[in-house]
Structure formats: C-alpha cells, structure tokens
C-alpha cells in the first residue's frame, strides 16, 4: 500500500495489471457464480498477465459454459467446490493440483447473508441457532478449509496472495448499530481465522500475503434486499467492485499480511 493506503494508485488504470507478480498469474476464484466472484473471473480473464483462472462453484453446471471461449482454450477451468463440505474442498484441491503445480492468487468470494430460511436478525428474538451455525460454516469455516487444502499450491518464497471477502460489518470496533448477529459474527470470525492463518503462513510461506477485504456495498443478490438506504454513488456495480478489489490485491506489499482492507485500500480496524 502507498502512504495514502491506496493500492499503488491503480484504481483508475482499468484492468488487472498484476504488477506485483513477476510471472503470469494462475488464479483460483471460489464463488465464481456470485455477483462479485463472476466479475472477478471476468476481469482476471481480461488481463494478459493472467494465464489460468480456476473458477470454483458448488454447482458445476452453473460454472461450466459461463466463459465458453476461455473454457475451450483452457484459460478457465471449472471446479466443483462446496465450501460447506471439507470432502468437496479436498476433492477440488486434488483436481486443481493435478492441473497445475502452482497458484499465485486465491480469492474466496463466497458468502451467505440471506437465503430461503436465512434472514439477518434485527433483534435477539429472531436469532436461530441453525442460521448462526450455517453462517459460520459458509462465511468463516469455508474460506479456512480452502486455505487448508489449497495453500500447498502457493509458492513457498515468491509473492502470492490469499484473500477472502469479508465485510466492514464484521469489524467489532465499528459495530454501533447491532443486529445481523449471524453475519457480523461469522465475518468477525473469518477475520480472526485469517489473522491466525497469516501468522502461520509468514513462517511456512513467507511470500504469501493473506488478507480480508471489504468490497463496499455491491449490487448483487446478496445485498439486493438491503439496498434501499444506499446512495446510488455508494452502490458499486460488480465490475467496479472487482476492479477495485483486484487493484487492492495487486497493491499489497510487505507488512500488509494479516490485515483487513476496504475496496479503496484503506485499512479497517478489527
Ligand atoms: N454485495 C455486497 O454488498 C457485499 C458487501 C460486503 C461484503 N460482501 C461479501 O462479498 C462476498 C461475495 O458476495 P456477493 O455480493 O458476490 O454475493 P452473491 O452474489 O450472493 O455470491 C455469493 C457466492 O457464494 C457462493 N456460495 C454460497 N454458499 C456456498 C457454498 N457452500 N460453497 C461454495 N460457494 C458458495 C454462491 O454460490 P451459488 O451461486 O451456488 O449460490 C455465490 O457464488 C461475500 O463474502 C459477501 O459477504 C458483499
């Protein structure tokens, strides 16, 4: 990060330049069917610095055929990966490991805020233990399982990035409104798990920068029911959010591992 906290001033340059990497980038995006995840895959594919994108999704049929041209020439490799199942994550890692001996960039873009029987709580009386546990399973445990099974593919010494999408509402210090017990606490747990992971990776893979990122409020299915109070200029398109996040990832440098950054490169307090 530069002194303003911005990712090397690349926010307006357009396209992922992968300047921090000294080789063509092989990336894994988990949650490639999501609003932000699919935009990340697209932007990575637009970059001439990226050779391969492994696109992970829990339903393979929703990933296959999404990027037909790049899939035909092998630049996109669909991978079935359900972060709620360790067996699935392990199988996915075995598949990817059979297709490449190295990953340079791993992005967890999965997440759960609401679903058919999952609604963010406004008050304690709405707390459902199953929702709380499901949120932890997807938002906290899932990204760590990806780390457990995929970090072996990151280079030991050279620069690499392991990033998970968190949310500012997972900051404990920033919590003044309350509510959203399950989502907030599962993102806070993700932040802590990532911090521990960064400490361990600093010893075993010192070139790996391991961070959590807040994408801003992004116009996706996840935020759709909660967009009414958001000013238009503060609601990012998935394309813009992906470009901003990639710029932050590309701007990471020494001392940035184990930290929590917003879409503009600003460091967020835990
Ligand atoms: N949108 C925002 O305003 C906003 C704000 C702050 C933080 N974030 C964070 O950004 C990340 C991406 O959010 P988004 O807005 O892109 O949401 P989204 O469009 O709902 O995408 C969520 C993704 O997570 C995947 N997913 C859910 N459960 C999974 C599982 N068990 N295994 C594998 N994949 C699973 C979904 O797969 P399916 O397609 O199969 O359902 C989908 O690809 C999340 O971590 C979210 O918390 C978003």
Q: Is residue 178 included in any domain, yes or no?
A: yes
Stretches where the chain sits below pLDDT 70 are: 1-15
* Ligand 1 near 78 CB (within 6 A): no
* Ligand 1 near 252 CB (within 6 A): no
pTM for the predicted model, two decimal places: 0.95
CATH number at residue 110: 3.40.50.720
Q: What is the pLDDT of residue 22?
A: 87
Q: Is residue 121 included in any domain, yes or no?
A: yes
- Closest atom of ligand 1 to CA, residue 36: 16
Q: Is residue 90 included in any domain, yes or no?
A: no
How many other β-carbons are positioned within 10 Å of the β-carbon of residue 225? 11
Q: Is residue 70 included in any domain, yes or no?
A: no
* Ligand 1 near 58 CB (within 6 A): yes
Q: Is residue 34 included in any domain, yes or no?
A: yes
- Closest atom of ligand 1 to CA, residue 108: 45
* Ligand 1 near 57 CB (within 6 A): yes
* Ligand 1 near 144 CB (within 6 A): no
Are 130 and 189 in contact, with CB atoms under 8 Å apart?
A: no
Whole-number Å distance between alpha carbons of 110 and 263: 17
* Ligand 1 near 84 CB (within 6 A): yes
Q: Is residue 74 included in any domain, yes or no?
A: no
Q: What is the pLDDT of residue 16?
A: 87
**Whole domain around residue 36: which residue ranges?**
25-52+97-262
Whole-number Å distance between alpha carbons of 91 and 50: 24
* Interacting residues of 47 by C-beta distance below 8 A, sequence separation 6+: 15, 16, 17, 18, 25
Q: Is residue 71 included in any domain, yes or no?
A: no
* Interacting residues of 218 by C-beta distance below 8 A, sequence separation 6+: 35, 36, 235, 236, 237, 238, 241
Q: What is the pLDDT of residue 168?
A: 97
* Interacting residues of 89 by C-beta distance below 8 A, sequence separation 6+: 81, 82, 83, 142, 145, 146, 148, 149
- Closest atom of ligand 1 to CA, residue 165: 45
Q: What is the pLDDT of residue 14?
A: 54
pLDDT tens for each residue of 149-174? 999 999 999 999 999 999 999 999 99
Whole-number Å distance between alpha carbons of 107 and 88: 17
Q: How many domains does the chain have?
A: 1
Q: Is residue 31 included in any domain, yes or no?
A: yes
């Amino acid at each position: 990060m530069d002194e303003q906290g911005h990712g090397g001033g690349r926010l307006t340059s357009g396209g992922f330049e992968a300047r921090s990497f000294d080789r063509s980038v092989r990336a894994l995006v988990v949650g490639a069917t999501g609003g932000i995840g699919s935009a990340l895959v697209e932007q990575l594919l637009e970059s001439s610095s990226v050779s391969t994108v492994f696109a992970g999704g829990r339903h393979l049929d929703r990933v296959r055929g999404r990027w037909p041209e790049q899939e035909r020439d092998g630049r996109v490799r669909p991978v079935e990966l359900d972060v709620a199942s360790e067996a699935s994550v392990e199988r996915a890692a075995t598949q990817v490991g059979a297709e490449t001996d190295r990953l340079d960039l791993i992005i967890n873009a999965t997440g759960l805020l609401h679903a058919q029987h999952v609604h963010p709580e406004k008050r304690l009386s709405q707390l459902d233990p199953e929702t709380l546990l499901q949120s932890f399973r997807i938002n906290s445990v899932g990204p760590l399982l990806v780390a457990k099974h995929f970090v072996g593919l990151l280079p030991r010494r050279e620069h690499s990035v392991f990033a998970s999408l968190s949310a500012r509402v997972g900051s404990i210090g920033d919590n003044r409104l309350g509510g959203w017990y399950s989502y907030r606490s599962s993102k806070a747990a993700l932040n802590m798990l990532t911090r521990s992971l960064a400490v361990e990776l600093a010893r075993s893979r010192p070139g790996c920068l391991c961070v959590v990122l807040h994408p801003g409020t992004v116009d996706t299915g996840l935020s759709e029911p909660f967009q009414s109070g958001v000013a238009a200029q503060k609601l990012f398109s998935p394309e813009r959010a992906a470009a901003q996040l990639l710029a932050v990832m590309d701007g990471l440098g020494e001392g940035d591992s184990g930290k929590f950054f917003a879409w503009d490169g600003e460091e967020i307090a835990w």
